C-alpha cells in the first residue's frame, strides 16, 4: 500500500500544486486537499496511466449518490490506494 500511496501522493502534489508533505494517508482528497472534480480527472488520468488500470469513477460516484458508500471509502488516500491495489490485483488475476 505504501508505494501505491507514495505514487498517488506524488501525482496529486504535481497535478494540483499541493505541497507533498501536506498529503498523508489520512488526507481526504476533496475535504482536506480541496481537489475539485476537474483536477480529479487529471489525477485519475495519471493514476490510470501509472497503474495500467481504469479507476471506476462513475461507479464510485453513483454509489456515493445512492448512499451505498461514503466518499471516505474512495477519496481518503489510504483507501484510494487500497482500491487501486485491488484493481491492479484484479487485472493480473
Partner 1 sequence: MRLEYFQLIDRIVDLDLAERRISCEATVPSASTVFEGHFPGFPLMPGVLLIEAMAQTSGWLITAMNRFERMPFLASVKEAKMRTFVLPGYVLNIESKLVHEGSGYAVLDAKVKNNGKQVCDATITLRVMEFPNKELAGEMLKLAARVGLTPEAALNA
Residues in contact with partner 1 by the rule CB under 8 A: 38, 41-42, 44-45, 48-49, 54-59, 61
Rounded to whole angstroms, the Cα distance separating 83 from 64 reads 15
- Of 19, 41, 35, which is closest to residue 75 (Cα–Cα)? 35
Task: Please tell me the distance from the alpha carbon of residue 34 to that of residue 63, in angstroms, as a whole number.
Answer: 21
In the bound state with partner 1, the residue whose beta carbon lies nearer, of 16 and 57, is: 57
Q: Which residues pair with 28 in a beta bridge?
A: 76
| Minimum distance from residue 58 beta carbon to partner 1 (Å) | 4
Q: Report the residue number, 21 or 66, with the smaller CB distance to partner 1.
A: 66
Closest approach, Cβ 37 to partner 1, in A, equals: 9
Residue 11: how many CB atoms within 10 A of its CB?
Answer: 19
Least separation in angstroms between CB 15 and partner 1: 12
Nearer to partner 1, 25 or 56 (CB): 56
Amino acid at each position: 500500500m505504501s508505494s501505491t500511496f507514495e505514487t498517488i501522493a506524488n501525482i496529486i502534489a504535481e497535478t494540483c500544486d499541493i505541497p507533498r508533505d501536506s498529503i498523508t494517508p489520512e488526507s481526504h482528497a476533496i475535504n482536506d486537499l480541496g481537489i475539485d472534480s476537474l483536477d480529479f480527472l487529471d489525477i485519475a488520468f495519471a493514476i490510470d496511466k501509472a497503474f495500467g488500470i481504469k479507476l471506476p469513477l462513475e461507479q464510485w460516484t453513483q454509489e456515493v449518490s445512492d448512499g451505498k458508500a461514503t466518499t471516505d471509502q474512495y477519496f481518503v488516500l489510504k483507501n484510494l490506494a487500497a482500491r487501486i491495489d485491488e484493481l491492479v490485483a484484479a487485472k493480473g488475476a
